[in-house]
Structure 1
């Protein structure tokens, strides 16, 4: 596909799969829509998928810094769904993309058939857990200091050490490390959502009202904060399943696409027939 104007923002997106059901895939921070290629291959016979590059990622235009980053992303995703889909969709989101997918479902649940989130970064849900303090100490300390002095590569390295530990920093190609460093300013752009729940996605009743089937996925080797967040979400969501990918971490949709894709297929078949 080419870059098109969605909600006023030049956005790249692509389509994959030939299935009967429509789906939207939303990638994690510092990645792009191509990160879903492995998972798309697993789901290609059952789902007709859309995947977009979020603002500042991949081939989409950079974010202009105006307003809230998640707001911008949600409006773009809604414009893509309005343009390219006709019925209810299955939403699949990874990390920060999971927060966007859930917001789409909360804003218009009638348009959503199911919601899959791989480690959505709703950190404020686990504010009282020790892992929250550890994460905050790193991000408000060494990470923020590196950004303040303009050392974007060091900021990217620190972020990867925490959330990309299943993909060692030094093993990444230099071009990929440089790309992450160029986009690292988008991490603090997500903080109003991840740490402050600016849109009330976790407000009293907000999760409980989401009645569609939800799958929470996590890597067995992911940071403890992931499990703490999922414990809260699992307790409050009314129709939820939880699955752990053994031997994987936060980047499992990229490092373990077969296991992630198979788990999604099992969830879809259990909650509503894939051919429905």
Structure 2
């Protein structure tokens, strides 16, 4: 583990596994690179996974107040992909917010990405562009979250957010250090909305995502919020050759909770040898 400037941003990275093939893994909001431990335990014989703490998370520096979280995270991801691939494209895994960064990276820098594995990417704009009813329902839930933040109630906002996206354990039942970590970073959710909800970059404009030409696996849990189903369905329909899987009994944290179930699917998707 080390901290250094990556893409101009002080970034803490972990290297997990010792396989011959390099991969980049981007975690969800309010987590850190160590969240990829369960997947690395399943795939580390075939992959060497570089897992950064995204800006404002873990031991990486916060993003500048005059900067943009999604832009800085994508620049960081591009710099890491270039480094670990030595100029050749690498496999990129992304979960939730990290999945939106991974998707953007593949669209803007296809030369850096060999394959995409997206675990419930929260690209809400994809569901909205598809006119999915779940997208409108999600707007109402987000309004509750925003009101709590606007009212200066970050603990309640964090608890509400965690009830939608967490592992099923209420926030107030988590250890104090974990509760504080989530609450202190809850503003990061709002900081990415210009891309994932408002589509500032036009990533969901007709023809853009359809231009992807690489293997894409979309995975979601069967018990995740309905908007995730709508997002994955929209992306699977628009990305040429994308393969979509649903993990029975899993929720939003499926890369941690169901790594052993997902691993054979990833091996098949990436063309990796079976585990000994």
User: Where on the TM-score scale, by shorter chain, does this alignment land: which range?
Assistant: over 0.9
Query: Which SS does the other structure have where 2:41 is aligned?
Result: helix
Deviations 1:232-266 (A, max 9, x none): 11111112101111111001112222223332122
For 2:149, the equivalent position in structure 1 comes to: 147
Q: CA deviation at 1:165?
A: 5.2
Residue 57 of structure 2: aligned partner? 57
Q: How far did 1:206 drift?
A: 1.1
Greater mean alpha carbon deviation, residues 77-86 or residues 35-44 = 77-86
Per the alignment, residue 43 of structure 2 pairs with: 43
**Following the alignment from structure 1 to structure 2, what is the Cα–Cα distance between the partners of residues 160 and 70?**
21
Q: Could you say which residue in structure 2 is the equivalent of 1:78? A: 78
Give the gaps of 5 or more residues in structure 2. Answer: none
Provide, for residues 81-117 of structure 1, a one-character-per-residue CA deviation record: whole Å limited to 9, x for no partner.
2333322200100011011111111122122211000
Does 2:210 correspond to 1:187?
Answer: no
Per the normalisation by structure 2, the TM-score is: 0.93
May I ask how many residue pairs the two structures share in their alignment? 271
Counterpart-to-counterpart distance in 2, 1:147 and 1:120: 23
Runs of 4+ in 1 over 3 A off after TM superposition: 165-168
The answer to whether the aligner puts 1:95 opposite 2:112 as a matched pair is no
Q: Name the residue aligned to 2:106.
A: 105
TM-score by length of 1: 0.93
Q: Distance in 2 between matches of 1:131 and 1:170?
A: 28
2:127/2:227 contact within 8 Å kept: yes
- Kindly tell me: are residues 245 and 166 of structure 1, through their superposed partners in 2, closer, same or farther at Cα, counting changes over 3 Å? farther
TM-fit CA distance, 1:274: 5.3
Q: Secondary structure at the match of 1:73?
A: helix
Are the counterparts in 2 of residues 167 and 251 from structure 1 also a CA contact under 8 Å? no
Q: CA RMSD in A?
A: 1.6
Q: Distance in 2 between matches of 1:169 and 1:192?
A: 26
The answer as to 2:179 corresponding to 1:138 is no
Does residue 217 (structure 1) correspond to residue 219 (structure 2)? The answer is yes
Say if 1:268 and 1:274, in contact at 8 Å, map to a contact too. Answer: no
